[in-house]
Amino acid sequence: MNTTIDWAQLQLQAKAASDQAYAPYSHFPVGVAILASSGRIYTGCNVENASYGGTTCAERNAIAAAVVAGERQFAALVVYTPQDKLTPPCGICRQVIAEFFTPDSPVASCNHLGALQSWTLAELLPDAFTPTYLAASTKVKS
């Protein structure tokens, strides 16, 4: 995969997605933009529910939208939140990201101040629980 990452465009689209968030309980709107290996960008926002278990994070909504469109490989992900502290994906989102991104994929967080911080997926979720990891871990060593 040799996809050029336009961080400014991903940040703009993540911010626009956060403007659509439905967050009446937490008041914490989150937007995400992901770059597919095809070059297309997909977005998602968090959608809360009075029964918190029914809430869906922006990362999972963006990935689901891309999967519905036929995408399976991704080059980068940007999370936007309107707060000073940069916010990486939560634990369950890290696991879902690991299903479709490579360990060296960049996962970034940005905010209303224009700050941007990036990690690799492996830094956010070392030894991720994925089919590749499971296949490697089930081999018996003599």
| CATH number of the domain bearing residue 124 | 3.40.140.10
Instruction: Give residue-wise pLDDT tens across range 72-92.
Output: 999 999 999 999 999 999 999
Domain that holds residue 130: 7-137
Cβ proximity of 46 and 29 under 8 Å: yes
Which residues have a Cβ under 8 Å from the Cβ of 4 and sit 6 or more positions away? none
Cβ proximity of 57 and 88 under 8 Å: no
Please count the structural domains in the chain.
1
Kindly indicate the confidence band of residue 119, based on its pLDDT and cuts at 50, 70 and 90: very high
Kindly indicate the confidence band of residue 138, based on its pLDDT and cuts at 50, 70 and 90: low
E strands of 6-140, at which residues?
Answer: 31-36, 41-45, 74-81, 106-111, 116-120
123 φψ region: left (φ > 0), alpha (ψ -120 to 50), beta (else)? alpha
Residues classed as catalytic? 59
| H or E element in which residue 31 lies | strand 31-36
pTM attached to this predicted model: 0.90
| Mean pLDDT, rounded, of the chain | 93
In a domain, 17, yes or no: yes
**Token pair 């400014």 in the structure block, residue:** 8
In a domain, 2, yes or no: no
In a domain, 60, yes or no: yes
In a domain, 1, yes or no: no
Kindly indicate the confidence band of residue 32, based on its pLDDT and cuts at 50, 70 and 90: very high
In a domain, 47, yes or no: yes
